[in-house]
Structure 1
Amino acid sequence: MNPETPQERIETTESIKRGIYILPNLVTTASMFAGFYSLVSTLNGDYYMAAILIFISAVCDGLDGKVARLTGTTSKFGVEYDSLADVVAFGVTPALMVYSWALRPYGRLGWLAAFLFVACGALRLARFNVQVNTVESKRFVGLPIPAAACMVAATVLLFHHLNRFPQELIQNPSMFKRVGLITLIYLLAFLMVSNIRYYSFKDPALIRRQPFGFLMLAVVLLIIVVAEPVVMTFAIMLCYTLSGPIGFLLGWPRRRRLEKAMRKGHESLRQ
């Protein structure tokens, strides 16, 4: 945590004394409430509802910042409160859900994987708060914690959707599927604290005029999502999760060329 200067501490204290903005913080509270209710559903064994509530929490989390910006009610208090709510809704909640649902038989390895997910999510949020003014807004550094939580929730929903199989297979995933899940948790934890960049969907160009073909593509995609919402939600989350590593690998040759060019430039300057 960056130490605040005395002046910044005084300004923060005075700002809180004057009051806080209700509307955006109320939306943040709704996100945290959905995350907490997801915890309750997990404890009650209702993993389907727990996964749905994580997505509801993610929607609220996406709205609070937009509400604050549209109403001109952004504040440092709101930023910190949002991060604390995210630790609950997208860190503790999905970790407990996937541990209770599939990782419990692994014993220590299972709960350590769940804890690693929570710890990496908290570290990801702390790094985001520190770098928020120094990193371009079009890209996230590391997988955002709401996306990681939604990936876990989408996996649970996909298993629940496959109720064509015996119910025992849904409630008690096979050993092969458990291995896949614990691997997924470790992978998501690594991606959250990595330096791999992800698209943030905050590009203003997205709301500008686009070719007619983009509208047709969006309509077709909407029809496919409505036809198979669970499968498509899982596919979309998986594509977004993999987009970072794929983009990193595709951009590796270009980065190597830039590094070599910079190295040559430094050597020529020394000579």
Structure 2
Amino acid sequence: MQNITKPTVKSKGIYLLPNLLTTAGLFAGFYAVIASMNGRFEASAIAVFVAMIFDGLDGRLARLTNTQSSFGAEYDSMADMVSFGMAPALIAYNWGLADIGKLGWLAAFIYCAGAALRLARFNTQVGVADKRYFQGLASPAAAAIIAGSVWLGQDYGVDGNSVSWLFALITAGTGLLMVSNFRYHSFKQVDWSGKVNFLVMLLVVAVFVVVSVDPALILCCLFYLYACSGPVMTMRNIKRLKVSDVLGDKEVELFQDGTRQTELEEKPSVIDEKTPHN
């Protein structure tokens, strides 16, 4: 009697828990837009940070519970575009860019387009790029710079219209950092499920205490420092800065210690013997 093997049929449906967190992040981003339209800029900025928390949780939860899916990855990317692309751009425009006319909305558009290009490039490099580093400033960190600046301005009574030109430069510059080739630490090599010393937990508590003293100022400063770390790290790890190290679609591979690899295709015989390579 001949055995007939039936083809396996994938069960339809989506995983609830990770996509629920993604939806919560999407809601926070949408709320941030609505709040900024109503002039509630502090609430809109805080909503962006809330969206960052949900964005950090959904992917890790999916990996821990083995509920990863192509649908979840695509949904997460679209939610990120709303929360870290559209929402910060509109918050920036409503808070301090509307009064400078076309230059204001152009700066906001540069940021929004930079976020879209950053997310598209990240999706095409999944499984290929070095997980220890981001190529360009990550969109959640870029959103934190915009939201943190607005939150800090609101806390200290700064009128957005009085710093329109400066804020336009910050907004456009943040958008350009997202599409740059600067390398940023991703912190993905940290073992979050491993055991740590008791002093580490005390340090974590101390960090929460420090942030709670003035969350707007502390968070804003932290993300500004992180944004500056990319150019600094890139310039430290290469001997001669080229245009392709800053912008462009040229792939720049790094060694394990972060130093720049010699272009073997152009100069196959020239290799720095002091530089370890894979």
User: With structure 2 as the length reference, what TM-score do the two structures score?
Assistant: 0.80
The equivalent position to 2:186 in structure 1, one of 200, 222, 234, is: 200
Question: What SS does the corresponding residue of 1:198 show, helix, strand or coil?
Answer: strand
Aligned to 2:253: none
Name the stretch that deviates more: 246-255 or 26-35.
246-255
RMSD: 2.7
Give how far 1:217 is off: 5.1
Per-residue deviation, residues 96-121 of structure 1 (Å, max 9, x unmatched): 11111101112111111111111110
Question: What SS does the corresponding residue of 1:69 show, helix, strand or coil?
Answer: helix
What amino acid does structure 2 have at the position aligned with 1:183? L
What amino acid does structure 2 have at the position aligned with 1:241? A
Per-residue deviation, residues 182-218 of structure 1 (Å, max 9, x unmatched): 1111111111011111111211356656678766655
Structure possessing the higher relative contact order (Cα contacts under 8 Å, 6 or more residues apart): 1
Superposition map of 1:109-124 within 5 A: 109-124=103-118
Give how far 1:173 is off: 3.6
- Supply the distance in 1 between the matched residues of 2:79 and 2:263 (Cα, whole angstroms): 44
Residues 146 and 218 of structure 1, relative CA distance in 2, 3 Å threshold: same
The runs of 5 or more residues in structure 2 that have no matched partner are 1-7, 243-258, 272-278
Q: Does 1:92 align with 2:92?
A: no
- Supply the distance in 2 between the matched residues of 1:129 and 1:213 (Cα, whole angstroms): 37
Residues 172 and 150 of structure 1, relative CA distance in 2, 3 Å threshold: closer
What amino acid does structure 2 have at the position aligned with 1:188? T
The equivalent position to 2:213 in structure 1, one of 224, 227, 230, is: 227
Question: What SS does the corresponding residue of 1:86 show, helix, strand or coil?
Answer: helix
- Supply the distance in 2 between the matched residues of 1:128 and 1:50 (Cα, whole angstroms): 26
Name the stretch that deviates more: 252-261 or 28-37.
252-261
What amino acid does structure 2 have at the position aligned with 1:160? Q
Give how far 1:74 is off: 0.3
Aligned to 2:22: 28
Give how far 1:230 is off: 1.6
Residues 212 and 108 of structure 1, relative CA distance in 2, 3 Å threshold: same
Name the stretch that deviates more: 257-266 or 104-113.
257-266
Give how far 1:265 is off: 5.2
Q: Does 1:103 align with 2:89?
A: no
The equivalent position to 1:159 in structure 2, one of 153, 168, 182, is: 153
The equivalent position to 1:239 in structure 2, one of 191, 203, 225, is: 225
Aligned to 2:245: none
Residues 185 and 220 of structure 1, relative CA distance in 2, 3 Å threshold: same
The equivalent position to 2:237 in structure 1, one of 251, 260, 268, is: 251
What amino acid does structure 2 have at the position aligned with 1:62? G
Identity of aligned residues (%): 40
The equivalent position to 1:266 in structure 2, one of 266, 269, 275, is: 269
Aligned to 2:50: 56
State the number of aligned residues: 247
Aligned to 2:252: none
Q: Which has the higher helix share?
A: 1
Give how far 1:223 is off: 3.2
- Supply the distance in 2 between the matched residues of 1:211 and 1:265 (Cα, whole angstroms): 47
Aligned to 2:122: 128
